[in-house]
Structure 1
Amino acid sequence: MNLFAYGTLMFPEIWERVVGDEFRAAPATVRGMAVYRAAGQLFPVMVASESTECAAGIVVFDLSPRVFETLDAYESDFYERIELHVELDDGRMLAAQTYLLPDRLRDVASDERWTAEWFRREALERYLRQNGW
């Protein structure tokens, strides 16, 4: 199975600590989703949005069920793991699992967009320290 990662798991510093293995990955987007900062937190949440919006991230290819068990534990029951279709940079579409904020927790999403650039510049080191890494 493939994973669409749009947040902290896009960063090798975090991926390696969570999963402990390297996998092939490529940039990708998913339509109809938006990524926001979780209120009062450094990490993001992805929610269904306008069909014209796109969430940017990466697809990590060919993960085993064991890796998904590890990822499920990292993401906790805070998110729902769902399957969606993502678009690679070359235009190909493929199925991938992702972690979506359930509608019942929609108020957890702040109004502030979360970007990988902001996270790397402003929050990565703090996030690593908060998690004891």
Structure 2
Amino acid sequence: MHIFTYGSLMFREVWSRVVHGNYRCRPATLPGYRRKAVKGEVYPVALNALPEDRIDGMVYLDIAADDIDRLDTFEGDYYRRRIEVVSISADTTTKAGVYVLNPDHRSIVAEEDWDAELFRRSSLPYFLSSYLGFHRGASIGEQ
């Protein structure tokens, strides 16, 4: 399975702390969704939106089942993994798992869109130090 990432996991520093494998990745776009900030947090959620809306991110290719389990655990109850079509180029699409907001948690969504560049510049070090329970080599039970 491929996995489309649009928040903290699109940064290799975070991705490599969650999964065991080394995976190829490519820039990709998810149509029909918006990326919103989460109240009081530095990570985003994806919400269904208008067909012309889109989220730019990364798609990681051919993820092993044990790493899918690790990603499911990392994403937790706020998210549900859905299979969506993502665009890799103007003429290439693929199906990928995408972690979208669980509707039961709509109250966590902030008004503003999430800014990936702002996250990279000012929140990535904080995020890495706050989410140290996930690192390469640990089993899910050791989180």
TM-score range relative to shorter protein: over 0.9
Contact 1:47 1:106 in 2 (8 A): no
Show the counterpart of 1:45: 45
Contact 1:47 1:102 in 2 (8 A): no
RMSD: 1.3
Show the counterpart of 1:78: 78
d(CA) in 1 for partners of 2:86, 2:70: 22
d(CA) in 1 for partners of 2:47, 2:27: 19
Gaps of 5+ in 1: none
Gaps of 5+ in 2: 134-143
Shift of 1:90: 4.2
Would you identify which runs of 4 or more consecutive aligned residues in structure 1 move more than 2 Å?
A: none
Give the % identical residues: 32
2:24 alignment partner AA: R
d(CA) in 1 for partners of 2:12, 2:44: 16
d(CA) in 1 for partners of 2:58, 2:66: 20
1:1-133 equivalence runs, <5 A: 1-132=1-132
Aligned positions, number: 133
d(CA) in 2 for partners of 1:91, 1:123: 34
State the TM-score, normalized to the length of structure 1.
0.94
Alpha-carbon spacing, 1:54–1:100, altered in 2? closer, same or farther (3 Å): same
